[in-house]
Amino acid sequence: MPPAWRHRRFPPPLASLLLWAVVACAGALGLAATRLQQLHAAFETDARIVHRLLSQRVVQHDAIMATLALLQPGAAAGDAASAAPLPRLPSVYPQILAVLQRTGQDPWPVPLQAELSAAEATSRRTGHAAMAALDLPAGRYHLVLAGTPASYALQIDLRATIPAEEWPMDRDRSLVRVTLEHGGKAFVVQPGRAGDDAGASRLRSYDFHKQLAAASQPLEVVALRSVGLSELPWWGMLGWCVLTAGLWAAGHALWRQRAARQRAEELLRLGQVARLNTLGELAAGMAHELNQPLTALLSSTQAAQRLLADDPPDLGTAQTALARAVDQARRASAVVGRLRRLVERPDLGGQVQPLPLPAVVQDALRLLQPDLAQHGVAVEVDAAVPDLPPVLAEPVALQQILHNLLTNALQALEQMPSAERRLRIGLSLPDAAHVALSVRDDGPGIPPEARQRLFEPFFTTRRGGLGLGLTLCESLAQAMGAHLALAPEAPGSQGRGAEFVLTLPTAPAAPAATSLTTPTRP
C-alpha cells in the first residue's frame, strides 16, 4: 500500500512568492504608467493654453498698429493733432514701451535707422507689420508697419505681454520651461524648475513647439518638461506592494493551517494503521514463541506414550520425556506471561493531570469535523453543570478514548437516514468526585446478546472490525483511574441508539477553594 501521506508535504512557497512578485511589479508599473500619462496630458494642456494666451496678446499688437494706420494724420491736420494719441498708448498697454512715427521723407531715429527701414520695406512688401531690432534675451523688439504718409513702429516689451492672471501654471515653481524662440535666440517666459533630479534620473521628456498665431511676429512657443524618478507615485506603488504582500501572507497562512490539519488527520490514520501492523507482528511472534514449547511438549508426551506402550515399557526414557514435557509446559506459560507484560500498558496513573473536559471534547470534535460534516451528523454538546471542575486524566489516552467513542458513534449513524444522524455529548457531575462524559448516538443500537460481550477482545458487530477498539478504551480508562461503561438502554428507545459513559475522577481543587467550589450531595 503506497503511503498516501508522503505525497503531501509543505513545498517551499517559491511559486506563490514569484506570483506575488509578478502581481506586485505589474501593479506598480501600472501605477507609474498612469502617473506618466497624467503628467503628459497636463503638460500638453498647459502648453496649448500658453500658446493661446501668448498668441492672443501678440495679435493685439497687430490690431494696435492697424488702428494707428487708420488714424493717419490727414494732410490738413498737421503734426500737433496727429501726435496726440501716440504718447498715451504706453500708459494703456504696458507692454508698449514707445511709439515711433516717421512721416514722408523723415528718417527713423538714428540708433535703429537701418533696421527699422529694412522692416518697413518688408512691411510694405508683405502688407502686414514686421519685426525689427529683435532682442529676444531681453524680451524687446520693434514692430514696424509701413504706411502712407506715416509709418509706425512700436517698441514692445515681451515681459509685460505675459498675462499673469490667466497663466495656467505657477511661474516660479512650475517644472515646465516655456520660451519664445526665433532665429536661435530665446526669451524665457517661464524658467521651469529643473527639479532635484535633472540629468541621470530623468525618466521622460515632453516638448511642445508651435508658432504664435500672428503672421507679423513669427515667434515659436517652446515648452519643455522633464519627469524625474522622484515624480513617480512611490507611496502608491509601495502601498500596492504592501497590500499584495499582506494578501499573500494571509493566503499562505491559511494554506499552511489547512495543510497542517490534513497532516494531523493523516498522522492519526497512520497511527491506526501502525497499530494494526503492530498487532499483526505481535500475533506472528506470539504464534512462534508458543509453537516451539507446544511442539516439544506434544512430541515429548507422545514419545512417552509410545515408550510406555512398548513391551516391556521403557520406563526410564518415558520419565525423561515426561520431565521434558513439564519443562516445556512451564516454558509456554512463561511465554504467555512475558507477552502479557509486553502488551500491558504502562500505568497511566502517574501521568494524569488536570484537564478541562469541554476543551478536550472540542479538540476531539475538531479533529473529526470533516467526517461529521461529510455525513451530515448534527452534534450537540450538553453541559448540565456550567462550571465543570477539571478532570484527572492522561491527555493522549483521554483523546484516544474520546476519538474511538466518537468514531464508533459516527459509524453507527452512517446506517441511518441522513436526517436522523444526531450525536449527543453530555457532560455531568454524578457526584462530587467524578465527572461523567457520555457519547450517545441515535444509530441502530446494540443487540441485547452483544451488550454483554461488547468489551471482550476480538468481539465485534462490524464486518471487518477488529474488535479491539472498546477493549483498548476500557483498559486505557482503567489505567488512569477512569471507568468506561455502556449505559443501560433508555426506556422507550426500542433498542435504538447507544450511549457510552466515561466516568473520570475530578482533579482536587486548590485547598483554599475546595470548600467553596465542591458541590455537596447527600
Partner 1 sequence: MTDTAAPSLSPLIHLVDDDAAVRDSLGLLIGTVGLRVQTWADPQSFLAGFDRASIGAIVLDVRMPGTSGLTVLEQLLAQGVDQPVILLTGHGTVEMCRRAFKAGAAEFLEKPVDDEVLIEALQNAVRQHVRSRERHQADQQARERYAQLSAREREVLGLIVEGLTNKEIGRALELSPRTVETHRANLFGKLGAESLAQLIRRYAALVDSVPGA
Cα distances from 100 to residues 107, 110, 116, 131, 299, in angstroms, run 11, 12, 10, 14, 151
Contact with partner 1 (CB under 8 A) among 220, 327, 371, 489: 327
Residue 364: all three cell numbers together: 476531539
Contact with partner 1 (CB under 8 A) among 86, 97, 241, 294: 294
- Residue 317 is a binding residue for partner 1 (CB under 8 A): yes
Contact with partner 1 (CB under 8 A) among 82, 174, 272, 320: 320
**At residue 222, what is the residue type?**
V
Residue 204: all three cell numbers together: 521622460
- Residue 321 is a binding residue for partner 1 (CB under 8 A): yes
- Residue 439 is a binding residue for partner 1 (CB under 8 A): no
- Residue 293 is a binding residue for partner 1 (CB under 8 A): yes
**What is the Cα–Cα distance from 141 to 135, expressed in whole angstroms?**
6
The least distance separating partner 1 from the CB of residue 287, rounded to whole angstroms, comes to 5
Contact with partner 1 (CB under 8 A) among 328, 404, 438, 503: 328
The DSSP 8-state label assigned to residue 349 in this structure reads G
**What is the Cα–Cα distance from 485 to 475, expressed in whole angstroms?**
12
- Cell 493654453 appears where? 49
**At residue 71, what is the residue type?**
L
- Residue 39 is a binding residue for partner 1 (CB under 8 A): no
The least distance separating partner 1 from the CB of residue 285, rounded to whole angstroms, comes to 10
- Residue 277 is a binding residue for partner 1 (CB under 8 A): no
Q: Which residues contact 38 (CB under 8 A, 6 or more apart)?
A: none
Stretch that binds partner 1, among 44-52, 83-91, 325-333, 456-464 (CB under 8 A): 325-333
Three-state SS for 246-276 is HHHHHHHHHHHHHHHHHHHHHHHHHHHHHHH
Closest CA to 283 of 346, 331, 342, 330: 342
Contact with partner 1 (CB under 8 A) among 190, 216, 244, 300: 300
The number of residues in the chain equals 522
Contact with partner 1 (CB under 8 A) among 260, 284, 334, 381: 284
Of 1 and 76, nearer to partner 1 (C-beta) is 1
Stretch that binds partner 1, among 132-140, 236-244, 315-323, 351-359 (CB under 8 A): 315-323
Of 325 and 352, nearer to partner 1 (C-beta) is 325
The long-range contacts involving 196-200, CB below 8 angstroms and separated by at least 24 positions, are 196/228, 196/230, 197/228, 197/229, 197/230, 198/226, 198/228
| 503 bridge partner residues | 436, 483
Of 117 and 299, nearer to partner 1 (C-beta) is 299
- Residue 288 is a binding residue for partner 1 (CB under 8 A): yes
Stretch that binds partner 1, among 9-17, 42-50, 292-300, 418-426 (CB under 8 A): 292-300
- Residue 391 is a binding residue for partner 1 (CB under 8 A): no
Which 117-136 positions form the footprint of partner 1 (CB under 8 A)? none
- Positions that interact with partner 1 (CB under 8 A): 284, 287-288, 291-300, 302-303, 305-307, 310, 317, 320-321, 324-325, 327-328, 331
